[in-house]
Amino acid sequence: MLVYVINKNGNPLMPCKPAKARKLLRDEKAKIVNQSPFTIKLQWDCEENVQPITLGIDKGSHHTGLCNVGNGKILLSGIINHRTDIKDKMTARRGNRCQRRTRKWYRPKRFLNRATSKRSGRLPPSLFANADEVIRVVRQIPLPLSSCVVEDVQVDIARLNNPDLTGTEYQQSNRLDENLRIATLMRDKYQCVSCGKKKVQLQAHHLVPQSQGGKDTIKNLITLCQQCHKKVHQGQITLEVDGVSGFKDQIAQRTMQGKTYLYQALSQVAPLLSVFGYQTSIRRKSLSLPKEHDVDALCIATLNNQINQLIEYHRDNFYTIKFRPRQTRRRYHDLPRKGKGRVPYQVNAELDGFRKGSLVRVKDKWTKQINSIYSNGRLAFARVKGEPGSARPSDCQLLLRGQTVVWNYSV
């Protein structure tokens, strides 16, 4: 585990070991500014001599992998768990407002009042939140970032029909180009065209064999599972299909929606580079690493490594990052209760100075985040085996107030 350091001006420095951090805190030369990731702030002016650190980002719709590489090792890695409740909440709010407008029969009708939703460059709330969550996390990383590398899209469409072998990544001439293989699987929706199986090992089959002059093009390839592929070559199955051309006409390229906004914001933090997903796949397979989001982020960060230094994969400084809303404007539950009518949605907003989302230390032993406030005067936390699920305010010490980005250290 590493302890992250910022100077007196708030600029991040290189991390240090816990022993050195304890000595600085004991001599009152530093103070704690963040619990997770554990960060200290120096109390004197010092030089900002730092080493280059590269941040790799494996962007996804539900999970995003992060990996910070510097000095030949992993300094910080993690997985962002994106919020998936925004669309449902927007749908519920739209229904409640529609009912409200129906009850307010005396209010005149309004039309053409959607100018905000039609403005140029606008993103839907769910897509905007997905990209903004990555930006917020990157800005909170307590490391001096020198560059940022993002995985752009999974395939390079311009090279589908002309996979020229260049560089060291295509030295094995007997293997199919990874960019073309993934594109074939994407076109056929990741299922065998013979038996229709999914979630099995899939292979790209040449309709016209290479021994008979068949080419490595998207039109000459088709997706088969391992068993069907073997039966085709043994003559047990005859495929009555033709190759499909026009890759753009068959599927929509899985580009990241909202990436223009994401790239503009990340370029303000550090110089931005982009790579393709098939390059990440080649790098991961060459290193024999498992398929994980932080592993892909490590491969992305080291893909353009000029020194070609192998970095050992570990999770010593691994964090799971999640988000929680700061507040809600919802007043009542959707359905009334018998004998009570419309029930308020949030009754206990604050208790003895503690609010939902605040980070507290319970009985000088556990660090917990307040998820709810019970009417019996207790603070509720996430249920973890061996740890308290609730506590009295007198047993809690406030550490950080109202955290919307939650960093959890994972061993």
Per residue in 79-99, pLDDT (tens digit) is 999 999 898 988 888 888 888
Q: Same domain for 306 and 384?
A: no
| Residue recorded with tokens 């993002």 | 150
* pLDDT exceeds cutoff 80 at 327: no
With 0-12 CB in 10 A as exposed, 13-18 as middle and 19+ as buried, what is 176? Answer: middle
pLDDT higher at 53 or 100? 53
- CATH number for the domain that contains residue 209: 1.10.30
Domain contains 213:
yes
Single-letter residue type at 185: L
Q: Same domain for 242 and 262?
A: no
Domain contains 228:
yes
Residue 356 tokens read as 């939902």
- Looking at the structure of the chain, the number of domains it has is 4
Q: Same domain for 275 and 319?
A: yes
* pLDDT exceeds cutoff 80 at 379: yes
Domain extent at residue 391: 353-410
Residue 73, classed as helix, strand or coil, is strand
Q: Which of 282, 41, 45 is nearest to 169 (CA)?
A: 282
Q: Same domain for 146 and 268?
A: yes
Residue 48, classed as helix, strand or coil, is coil
CA–CA separation, 126 and 160 (whole Å): 32
Whether omega before 37 lies within 30 degrees of 0, making that bond cis, reads yes
Q: What is the largest CA-CA distance in the chain?
A: 80
Q: Same domain for 231 and 211?
A: yes
Residue 122 tokens read as 């606008």
CA–CA separation, 176 and 226 (whole Å): 16
Residue 190 tokens read as 């990741």
Q: Same domain for 193 and 209?
A: yes
* pLDDT exceeds cutoff 60 at 72: yes
Identify the domain boundary among 224, 250, 276.
250
% of the chain surpassing 70 pLDDT: 85
Please tell me the predicted confidence (pLDDT) of residue 249: 35
Give me the residues paired with residue 405 across strands: 323
Identify the domain boundary among 250, 284, 305.
250
Q: Which of 364, 362, 365 is nearest to 390 (CA)?
A: 362
pLDDT for 274-315, tens place per residue? Answer: 888 888 888 888 888 998 999 999 999 998 765 456 788 999
* pLDDT exceeds cutoff 80 at 160: no
Residue 18 tokens read as 């816990």
At residue 121 the predicted structure's pLDDT band, cuts being 50, 70 and 90, is confident
* pLDDT exceeds cutoff 90 at 74: yes
Single-letter residue type at 83: R
| Residue recorded with tokens 């991040």 | 12
Domain contains 36:
yes
* Average confidence score pLDDT of the chain: 83
- CATH number for the domain that contains residue 72: 3.30.420.10
Q: Kindly state the average pLDDT of the residues 33-61.
A: 90
CA–CA separation, 327 and 324 (whole Å): 9
Q: Same domain for 68 and 141?
A: yes
* pLDDT exceeds cutoff 70 at 161: no
Q: Same domain for 179 and 311?
A: no
Domain contains 100:
no
Q: Would residue 186 be called left, alpha or beta, if left means φ above 0 and alpha means ψ between -120 and 50 degrees?
A: alpha
Q: Same domain for 13 and 28?
A: yes
Q: Would residue 324 be called left, alpha or beta, if left means φ above 0 and alpha means ψ between -120 and 50 degrees?
A: beta
* pLDDT exceeds cutoff 80 at 394: yes
Within a 10 A sphere around the Cβ of 350, how many other Cβ atoms?
10
% of the chain surpassing 90 pLDDT: 34
Q: Same domain for 238 and 283?
A: no
Q: Same domain for 239 and 127?
A: no
Please tell me the predicted confidence (pLDDT) of residue 276: 84
Identify the domain boundary among 250, 285, 311.
250
Domain contains 98:
no
CA–CA separation, 176 and 162 (whole Å): 12
